[in-house]
Amino acid sequence: MQSIDRQALERIVGTSNVSTRDADLDAHSIDESHSRPGRADVVVWPTSTEQVSALLAWAQQECVPVVPWSAGSSLEGNPVPCCGGLLLAMYRMNRIIEIRERDLQVVVQPGMVYAELNKELGRQGMFFPPAPGSSEVATIGGMVSNNSSGMRAVKYGVTRDYILSLEVVLAGGQVLRVGSNATKSSSGYDLVDLFVGSEGTLGVITEVTMQVTGLPERVMAVTSSFPTLDGATDAVYETLRSGLDPAAIEILDADTMRITNEQQGLSLPNVPTLFVEFHGSNDGIAQEIDYLREICDECGAVRFDFAEYTEAREALWRARREARESIKRSHPGKTLIGGDACVPMSRFGELVRYTHQLADESGLRIYAFGHAGDGNLHTEAIVDGNDPAEFALGEELTSKVIRRALEMGGTATGEHGVGLMKRSFMRQEHGAALDVMRAIKRTLDPYGIMNPGKIFPEDSAAE
Mean pLDDT on 76-102: 97
Q: How confident is the model at residue 195 (pLDDT cuts 50, 70, 90)?
A: very high
| Separation CA 118–CA 132 (nearest Å) | 13
* pLDDT in the model for residue 463: 39
pLDDT, tens only, 201-224: 999 999 999 999 999 998 888 999
CA dihedral 72, 75, 77, 80 (to 10 degrees): 10
* pLDDT in the model for residue 309: 65
* pLDDT in the model for residue 1: 56
* pLDDT in the model for residue 461: 44
**CB of 377 within 8 A of CB of 408?**
no
Q: How confident is the model at residue 116 (pLDDT cuts 50, 70, 90)?
A: very high
pLDDT of 406 > 70? The answer is: yes
pLDDT, tens only, 37-75: 999 999 999 999 999 999 999 999 999 999 999 999 999
Q: What is the mean pLDDT of the chain?
A: 94
Contacts of 182 (CB under 8 A, 6+ apart): 164
Distance of alpha carbon 379 from the chain centroid = 14
pLDDT, tens only, 229-260: 999 999 999 999 999 999 999 999 999 999 99
Q: What domains does the chain contain, in order, with CATH numbers?
A: 6-91 (3.30.43.10), 96-214 (3.30.465.10), 218-323 (3.30.70.2190), 331-417 (3.30.70.2740)
Mean pLDDT on 75-88: 96
More confident residue, 59 or 308: 59
Q: How confident is the model at residue 322 (pLDDT cuts 50, 70, 90)?
A: confident
Mean pLDDT on 389-411: 98
Instruction: Give, in order, the Cα–Cα distances in Å from 107 to each of 4, 135, 173, 181.
Output: 34, 18, 22, 10
* pLDDT in the model for residue 459: 59
